Amino acid sequence: MEDDAPVIYGLEFQARALTAQTAETDAIRFLVGTQSLKFENQIHVIEFDDENNIINKNVLLHQAGEIWHIGASPADKAVLTTCYNKSESHCLYLFFFFLILLSRASFPTASDSRVVSCAAVWRMPCDLETESHESPDDSAHNPQALELLCHLDDSTYGNAACVLWEPMGDGKRVISLADNHALLWDLQESFTQAKVSSTATLEGKGQLKFTSGKWSPHHNSSQFATANETAIRAWDLRTMSQIYCIENAHGQLVRDLDFNPNRQYYLASCGDDCKVKFWDVRNVQEPVKTLEDHSHWVWSVRYNHSHDQLVLTASSDSRLILSNMVSISSEPFGHLVDDDELSEGEDNHQEEKNKEPLKDSVVSTYEEHEDSVYAAEWSSADPWLFASLSYDGRLVINRVPRALKYRILL
């Protein structure tokens, strides 16, 4: 059978934030946050019907501001976090308007507006009516709003860059990265209260700023890694101190990183030098492997959750690349299964022993996007499915090519 054609969904607004609905393991669902300075921002809950190849969407209003980062709780389907920009200009405008009226002087009106980034925890309304993407009464539909659970109020620490959920736990702990601080929050009373339980601060000269981070699923979820400028640092949550640091991990800014879900010492990073690097954190002098397939900055790198040889990278050269990194995966010689395990059933995870191993290679390059691709995510429900989002609001859902899928499984 042919590979299915990619499914494309267009948002009305520009967008950068994409996540899979992590707690959902049956339906293929992605969350997209829009960026618009003028209009009410939205979160699109996009459900992909694999059988019929149809996208169903749900639009939720995110009135607080434009969304820069979005994270879905791994424990509760309905809970999510966003980092958003709030511009405080409007109210100030009014204020100044009065001033101008009063003083009749020509004040520069916009000079005092301010943009701050905040983070908050939200709950989606539970009765999401699914509506088909193709439905004609698109505009007539009146979207519901998100319910604010609590602010991760970190204005004292600076602008929030992203919020990380604890990967394995009960969804009660998040880390938010704000400027040069990492804050560990405890969410209490069913998410309505957030309390900072500990903080870590990156000291150094100049204005240091975390660009992104990732909570490691290994070591009992006691570690997380952050990226600032060209360095990658890992922190221990218990002591909130630095464990290791990869200085100059990339020639330019490090944009994103991801932990190998199956190999605890492996981590992937990407950045403005157009490279994707794979690190063994026990020896951070040299990357284990470097990919140079993109022709512009790489904004996102993601390991497949179950088959860590599959790595997804998104770049502002408008391309999405799926690579097959067999040699540094947890299954370098294919999936090894015992006989008795084999007899258990025909579940996805019970495979026959593989033939000859596959080689490291680019599986395919997806060119459906016309603008920079800032985010790419694997589905949490179907390990063979992934979505990517470009700045012009185009969400593309693709599948791993069947041939490769069978190669890995069989």
Partner 1 sequence: LILIRRIAPSPVPMDVEGDDSALPEDSGRRRKVHGMLKLYYGLNEEGKSNEQPQALDPCDINGPHFDPEIYMNKLRRECTLAELMDQETCMVKQIRSLDSDMQTLVYENYNKFISATDTIRKMKNDFKKMEDEMDCLSANMEAITDFSARISGTLQDQHTQITKLSGVHTLLRKLQFLFELPARLNKCLELQAYSQAVSSHRRARCVLQQYSHLPSFRGIQDDCHAIMDKLAQELRQKFRDGGTSAKDLSECVELLLQLDEPAEELCDKFLSHARSRLESDLQGLEAEIRPHSSSSRRESSFHRSSLTAAAASDELLHAFVDDLAACYFSLVERRIQEEKSVGDNSLLVRALDRFHRRLQAVAKLLPGSSVPHHGTEIVIRAATERVKQYLSALQSFYMDSLTDVRQALATPRLSVAGGASHLGGAELLSSLSASILNQIKSVLASVHLFTAKDITFSNKPYFKGEFCSQGVRESLVVSFIKFICQSSRQFCESAGDKGGSTPPILLLLLSRLCLDYETSTISYILTLTDEQFLVQHHTPVTPVTALCAEAREAAQKLLNHYVKVQGLIISQMLRKSVETRDWVNTIEPRNVRAVMKRVVEDATSIDVQVGLLYEEGVRKAHSSDSSKRTFSVYSSSRQQAARYAASYTPSAPLDTNLLSNIHKLFSERIDIFSSVEFNKVSVMTGIIKISLKTFLECVRLRTFGRYGLQQIQVDCHYLQMYLWRFVSDENLVHFLLDEIVGSSAHRCLDPAPMEQSVIEVICERG
Query: What is the nearest approach in angstroms of partner 1 to the Cβ of residue 293?
Result: 11
What span, in angstroms and rounded, lies between the C-alpha atoms of 276 and 195?
Answer: 36
- Residue 341's φ and ψ, nearest 5 degrees, are -65, -35
| Lookup: tokens for 230 | 């060209």
What span, in angstroms and rounded, lies between the C-alpha atoms of 121 and 89?
Answer: 24
DSSP state string for 172-222 = -EEEEEETTEEEEEEEETTTTEEEEEEEEE---SS-----EEEE-SSGGG-
Taking the least distance from each CB to partner 1, the nearer of 108 and 345 is 108
The β-bridge relationship of strands 54-62 and 144-145 is: parallel
Taking the least distance from each CB to partner 1, the nearer of 52 and 111 is 111
Query: What is the nearest approach in angstroms of partner 1 to the Cβ of residue 87?
Result: 6
Query: What is the nearest approach in angstroms of partner 1 to the Cβ of residue 370?
Result: 5
The footprint of partner 1 (CB under 8 A) covers: 10, 12-14, 37-39, 85, 87, 89, 108, 110-115, 248, 250-252, 273-274, 295-297, 316-318, 367, 370-372, 391-393
Taking the least distance from each CB to partner 1, the nearer of 274 and 322 is 274
95's CB contacts (< 8 A; 6+ apart) are: none
What span, in angstroms and rounded, lies between the C-alpha atoms of 298 and 370?
Answer: 16
Q: Are 367 and 295 in contact (CB under 8 A)?
A: no
Query: What is the nearest approach in angstroms of partner 1 to the Cβ of residue 274?
Result: 5
What span, in angstroms and rounded, lies between the C-alpha atoms of 84 and 94?
Answer: 23
Taking the least distance from each CB to partner 1, the nearer of 13 and 122 is 13
Query: What is the nearest approach in angstroms of partner 1 to the Cβ of residue 339?
Result: 47
Taking the least distance from each CB to partner 1, the nearer of 150 and 178 is 178
What span, in angstroms and rounded, lies between the C-alpha atoms of 121 and 80?
Answer: 6
Taking the least distance from each CB to partner 1, the nearer of 113 and 144 is 113
What span, in angstroms and rounded, lies between the C-alpha atoms of 125 and 133?
Answer: 19
- 374 residue type, one letter: Y
Taking the least distance from each CB to partner 1, the nearer of 200 and 267 is 267
* Pick from 396, 262, 285: nearest CA to 331: 262
HSE-up (13 A, CA, CB side) for residue 257: 33
Measured from the Cβ of residue 357, the count of other Cβ atoms closer than 10 Å reads 14
Taking the least distance from each CB to partner 1, the nearer of 87 and 199 is 87
Taking the least distance from each CB to partner 1, the nearer of 298 and 385 is 298
- 34 residue type, one letter: T
The four Cα atoms 67, 124, 305, 243 give a dihedral, to 10 degrees, of 60
